[in-house]
Amino acid sequence: MKFTTITISIAAATAAAMLLPMHANAQQWPDKAVRFIVPYAPGGGTDIQARLLAKAFQGSMGQNFLVDNRTGASGLIGIQAGVDAAPDGNTIMFVSGSISVVTTLLAKQIKFDVYKDMQPVSWISTTPLVLSVHPSVPVKSPQELVALAKRGGGTQMNAAGNSAGTTAHLAAEMFNQTFGTKSTILFYRGGGPAVIALISGEVDYVFATAPSVMPHLRNGRARALAVTTPKRSSALPDLPTMTSIYPGFVAENWYAMFLPAGTRAAVATKLNSEIRKALNDADIKAFYRREALEPIGSTPEELTKKLREDIDKYAKVIKAGNIRAQ
């Protein structure tokens, strides 16, 4: 009996010792540099926040968080790279709400399941799209832009749509559908390049995410006409909402973090906690207010709910307008 007891005790101790490294790894994450995949070009709202939060995480967790801009195919190249990464906690996907558009618009190109292959961590923030024009465009209100766009059959104006399948693209499509205009929508590799096209005069107007266009509104290189959220933005209080002028014209963008499916729950839990901590930092909160971003910090379940709701909403818009990727 003593021998049996000793044997059981040794076996139990051995099993516990084997579990210790696993527990320690979960507690010590990250134990090396972490890659933040941003599936859009530098300068857009996703990229700006990724760099801000990467810096915060480095300070709180003592490891490097490196932003990796993987552009192309309306964000699908970057997301696919994240989905294919090892689920070891060393790769984080930082995506925008445009994922809820491309899921329908580019369904034939997607090689992953947004619900099965992407592990939700947190809904980070939401922001209005800001209808902005180049200073040379002689309008100061959405109504004047509509009138100008409808002259001569409405074919003489260009709009930036970011990448095909983004919320900015769909807002530009909604503009044409709602007002019967035929503005040419030009596509770029993300919100940053689209705004550069605006301030250079390559396009006349854009529905830009607030963080990507705010610096140019301040220095006069772009002029804002309205926001696309249901309520006015506290950062842009003088701007009307599109829906207050044209009922039903609502579009917003949001941002979220995902991990490759199969990542340890302890890693996801710690990352969620670090996100909430960062979003409650006084300096980061001030930055978000200044850039017309509303911090959220949600549970994984709340992010999944938001994703499902928006996929359903945009699928209806795409079907109703017979919108196709170009």
Task: Dump pLDDT digits (tens) for 182-218.
Answer: 899 999 988 889 999 999 999 999 999 898 899 999 9
Q: How confident is the model at residue 12 (pLDDT cuts 50, 70, 90)?
A: very low
Answer yes or no: is pLDDT of 148 > 50.
yes
Domain membership flag for residue 13:
no
Number of structural domains the chain divides into: 2
Q: Which residues have C-beta within 8 Å of that of residue 137, sequence separation ≥ 6?
A: 145, 148, 204, 205, 223
DSSP H stretches of helix in 139-209: 142-150, 167-179, 191-199
What is the rounded distance in angstroms from the CA atom of residue 169 to the CA atom of residue 248?
17
Answer yes or no: is pLDDT of 243 > 70.
yes
Q: What are the two backbone dihedrals, phi and then psi, of residue 13, each rounded to the nearest 5 degrees?
A: -65, -40
Q: Are residues 261 and 116 in the same domain?
A: yes
Buried b (16+ CB within 10 A) or exposed e, 221-234: bbbbbbbbbeebbe
Rounded to the nearest 10 degrees, what angle do helices 282-290 and 45-61 cross at?
180
pLDDT higher at 230 or 5:
230
Answer yes or no: is pLDDT of 1 > 70.
no
Q: Are residues 69 and 110 in the same domain?
A: yes
Q: Are residues 123 and 135 in the same domain?
A: no
Q: Are residues 216 and 298 in the same domain?
A: no
Q: What are the two backbone dihedrals, phi and then psi, of residue 72, each rounded to the nearest 5 degrees?
A: 120, 150
What is the rounded distance in angstroms from the CA atom of residue 173 to the CA atom of residue 193?
19
CATH of the domain at 179: 3.40.190.10
Asked if 176 and 209 touch (Cβ cutoff 8 Å), the reply is: no
Which pLDDT belongs to residue 326? Answer: 61
> Rounded to 5 degrees, what angle do the CA atoms 77, 45, 136 make?
110
pLDDT higher at 108 or 66:
66
Domain membership of residue 62 as a residue range = 25-127+253-321
Read off the pTM. Answer: 0.80
Of the three residues 192, 214, 245, the one that is the final residue of a domain is: 245
Domain membership flag for residue 81:
yes
Q: How confident is the model at residue 4 (pLDDT cuts 50, 70, 90)?
A: very low
Which pLDDT belongs to residue 177? Answer: 86
Q: Are residues 119 and 145 in the same domain?
A: no
CATH of the domain at 301: 3.40.190.150
Q: Are residues 132 and 118 in the same domain?
A: no
Q: Are residues 122 and 132 in the same domain?
A: no
Q: Are residues 226 and 150 in the same domain?
A: yes
Of the three residues 229, 245, 261, the one that is the final residue of a domain is: 245
Q: Are residues 265 and 123 in the same domain?
A: yes
Asked if 139 and 133 touch (Cβ cutoff 8 Å), the reply is: yes
What is the rounded distance in angstroms from the CA atom of residue 75 to the CA atom of residue 38?
8
What's the average model confidence in pLDDT over 87-96? 97
Answer yes or no: is pLDDT of 239 > 90.
yes
What is the rounded distance in angstroms from the CA atom of residue 131 to the CA atom of residue 52?
25
Nearest to 34 by CA among 62, 1, 5, 11: 62
Q: Report pLDDT digits (tens) over 277-323.
A: 999 999 999 999 988 899 999 999 999 999 999 999 889 888 877 88
Q: What are the two backbone dihedrals, phi and then psi, of residue 290, each rounded to the nearest 5 degrees?
A: -65, -35
Asked if 210 and 127 touch (Cβ cutoff 8 Å), the reply is: yes
Q: Report pLDDT digits (tens) over 158-169.
A: 999 887 888 889
Q: Are residues 171 and 231 in the same domain?
A: yes
Domain membership flag for residue 113:
yes
Domain membership flag for residue 169:
yes
What's the average model confidence in pLDDT over 92-100? 94
Of 20-29, 59-68, 110-119, 287-296, which gets the smallest average pLDDT? 20-29
Domain membership flag for residue 141:
yes
Of the three residues 221, 245, 269, the one that is the final residue of a domain is: 245
